[in-house]
Structure 1
Amino acid sequence: MAIIKLSAIERRRLSAFVTCLVFAVFAWLFTTLSKPYKFTIKQVVSFRNAPQKRAFHPLQSDTVNAIVQGTGWQMLFSKFNEDKKIINVDLHTLETKNYVVISNQLKQINAKKDVEHEIITVTPDTLFFDFSSRTVKRVPIELVTAIKYQKQFAQSDKVTIKPRYVTISGPAEVLARITSWRTDSIIMNGANEDFNSRVNVQGVKEGNLSVLPKSVMVTIPIDEYTEKTIEVPVKLINNRNYYNIKVFPQKVKVTFTTSLGNYPDLNEDDFEAVADLDLWRHNGYSVLPVKVTRLPSYSKVVKIIPQNIDFIIKK
């Protein structure tokens, strides 16, 4: 393979040539990209001043093609500037018409944009809408949570949401599909105390809907949990022939988790433990397993001692 050997003078000349070439390319790019250009970008249509007495549905896509006046640099970086890709269209004319002409609003639209991003024309220029009678509906709020509790902590009571419902208004066919309305997500890590805060409800995704209120007050009780053991009498069920039956033992020890706030108040009346005699009648069981069928909310059974009881049937 041939190797070209250059003298020191030739290397300096080559280095100077490459440097000049690079500077020339950058100078050409800078000059070219500094010139004004007209280019097309897609912009998302955002509606404002929606009519209150008429429900509407857009008959075209929620994006338009806008021809924008700007420099080559702005054309190059337009893909990365999301803030410039929203066009706010005023719908006040829909009170009397079924269409909106965007070109009639370009002056107001451009007034809220940088001079360098001035919109010249928009396609489509006229937006058409379908109308139907506006109805109102109340739906329950659906709380969205992503809560990770600190060790030995958990929710200790029912969540309170005030108000419990939101009122939505819009086209009847749209409201018929809505059965609840979600909140923004409540995200907590290492939660170890009650949550009391105002939470926003999710915004509408369609311009022809409105939701009130915009936020609700949410309370999530959180407490530390510990174990407690209580003796609970065993109740015999499905004794259809009214046999005289003795069970041994008559009480079992139920160990369960409970919040510290509820710990002092819990007793055997809050629980029900049962044994099913049908297991002997139909399956020939010689001992009956015990199940806890009632216990306080947000408590969890850890173990039952004994898990099975003996019984004697007196005929």
Structure 2
Amino acid sequence: MSIATEQIWQRVRIFFKRIAWKKILTFSFFVLIATILWFMQIYNKSFETTINIPIKYTSVPDSIIFQDSLPSNMVLRVKDDGFAMFRYYFSKRDTLRIDVSSIVQNGSNKILQGNSFDFFIRKSLPISTQILNYEPVRISFAYSALESKKLPVVFDGQLNLSPGYFLNNDIKIRPDSVTAYGSKADLNKLMFAYTVSDTVSGLDQNTRIRYALANKDRIKFSPNIVYIDVSVEAYTQKTVEIPVECLNLPENLTAKLFPSRVKLSFFVGVSKVDSIKDTDFSVAIDYVGLQDSKQASVPVRITSSPGFVRNLTITPPNVQYIFEYKSEAVNND
């Protein structure tokens, strides 16, 4: 340690030795006592303040629409002691929950006000709190009944799979239909319920995606959330070689095809590649329409294949043909 550093530490030690710690501790003790007494006085004193309480409406029937907009929060002027005020400012306020079904089903009175309204508000406040006033002073639940219509759900989106993967099955929408509520005129314009438009990329495993239904003016959907199940599988390419048949060939003719066999290439999921057989496929040309044809070759078409294979291609795509009578040969020229 250098001489300069030693001198600095020496001065610091001398400074702290000169401090009257006993006086400081005594002063701090009395400050603490005064602070406690001040808080006790504040807590016992009544204060007024304005608070904002959110409103949550529960059990809202899907088959109705309210004639007036329902408020999302309530402003209250309250009076309470300092301790309660401390909680109002520094703790999360309870939500005012209103059971709508119990109100709309309770006779003809669809307005929440007076003592009934006070009861709902009181449930979200401490017992010691005095309510001076609140806004709004009433909530109207007057409603109109809606018509209903069941609609199939359509996925309005795009799925982009990772390289080397394809859809193993059609996407499934759960539920596949929803109930729409609205006026008869509005419902008559609807044929489907669409999900919100979206694009999902990089899918490489089975996935369930949550989607909201696209909003429609003056229309309510129940439920308004659906799930899209996407079945994804890695694929591989496979090739089989199969004979070409001639359909609708008269009994007195035989057909010679060049080549007589073609190759079928396709993509198949890795879980099914070993179960694929040549006999699962068939290809053919059709004699009907070829009697007067001047073409030297005809396209080959696939007549049967497993439903789980993709991107079928034929090599070669065309074959040449000669039809022969069983007693003599007749060229297509």
Structure 1 unmatched runs, 5+: 1-35, 39-43, 71-83
Equivalence for 2:265:
255
Larger radius of gyration: 2
Identity %: 15
Equivalence for 1:75:
none
The partner residue of 2:311 within 293, 301, 310 is 301
The aligned runs of 1:178-257 (5 Å cut-off) are 189-195=201-207, 202=212, 210-211=222-223, 220-237=230-247, 239=249, 243-257=253-267
- Could you tell me the TM-score, scaled by structure 1's length? 0.55
Secondary structure of 1:253's aligned partner: strand
- CA spacing shift, 1:65–1:123, aligned 2, 3 Å: farther
Equivalence for 2:169:
157
Equivalence for 1:100:
111
C-alpha distance after superposition, 1:226-281 (max 9, x if no partner): 21111122233455797433222222111111111111111222223232445534
Residues 151 and 180 in structure 2, CA contact (< 8 A), matched pair in contact too: no
* Aligned-partner residue type, residue 66 of structure 2: P
The partner residue of 2:280 within 263, 266, 270 is 270
The partner residue of 2:159 within 147, 152, 157 is 147
- CA spacing shift, 1:89–1:284, aligned 2, 3 Å: farther
C-alpha distance after superposition, 1:120-151 (max 9, x if no partner): 4349953421236x97x876665676533221
* Aligned-partner residue type, residue 224 of structure 1: A
Residues 66 and 121 in structure 1, CA contact (< 8 A), matched pair in contact too: no
Distance across 2 between alignment mates of 1:130 and 1:305: 66
Residues 283 and 303 in structure 2, CA contact (< 8 A), matched pair in contact too: yes
Structure 2 unmatched runs, 5+: 1-47, 78-92, 325-329
Equivalence for 1:59:
67
Secondary structure of 1:264's aligned partner: helix
| Aligned-residue CA RMSD (Å) | 5.4
C-alpha distance after superposition, 1:51-82 (max 9, x if no partner): 59xx423234x466989579xxxxxxxxxxxx
Secondary structure of 1:231's aligned partner: strand
Equivalence for 2:323:
313
Residues 183 and 202 in structure 1, CA contact (< 8 A), matched pair in contact too: yes
Equivalence for 2:142:
128
- CA spacing shift, 1:219–1:59, aligned 2, 3 Å: closer
* Aligned-partner residue type, residue 97 of structure 1: S
- CA spacing shift, 1:66–1:269, aligned 2, 3 Å: same
Residues 181 and 202 in structure 1, CA contact (< 8 A), matched pair in contact too: no
Residues 235 and 268 in structure 2, CA contact (< 8 A), matched pair in contact too: yes
C-alpha distance after superposition, 1:22-79 (max 9, x if no partner): xxxxxxxxxxxxxx9x9xxxxx996423359xx423234x466989579xxxxxxxxx
- CA spacing shift, 1:145–1:66, aligned 2, 3 Å: closer
Residues 56 and 208 in structure 1, CA contact (< 8 A), matched pair in contact too: no
* Aligned-partner residue type, residue 290 of structure 1: V
Distance across 2 between alignment mates of 1:177 and 1:56: 19
Q: Measure how far apart 1:311 and its partner are.
A: 0.7
Residues 70 and 139 in structure 2, CA contact (< 8 A), matched pair in contact too: no
Residues 50 and 208 in structure 1, CA contact (< 8 A), matched pair in contact too: no
Distance across 2 between alignment mates of 1:215 and 1:100: 34
* Aligned-partner residue type, residue 99 of structure 1: K
Residues 66 and 120 in structure 1, CA contact (< 8 A), matched pair in contact too: no
Distance across 1 between alignment mates of 2:133 and 2:166: 54
Distance across 2 between alignment mates of 1:170 and 1:151: 42
Residues 155 and 298 in structure 1, CA contact (< 8 A), matched pair in contact too: no
Secondary structure of 2:307's aligned partner: coil
Secondary structure of 1:280's aligned partner: coil
Distance across 2 between alignment mates of 1:185 and 1:306: 41
Secondary structure of 1:108's aligned partner: helix
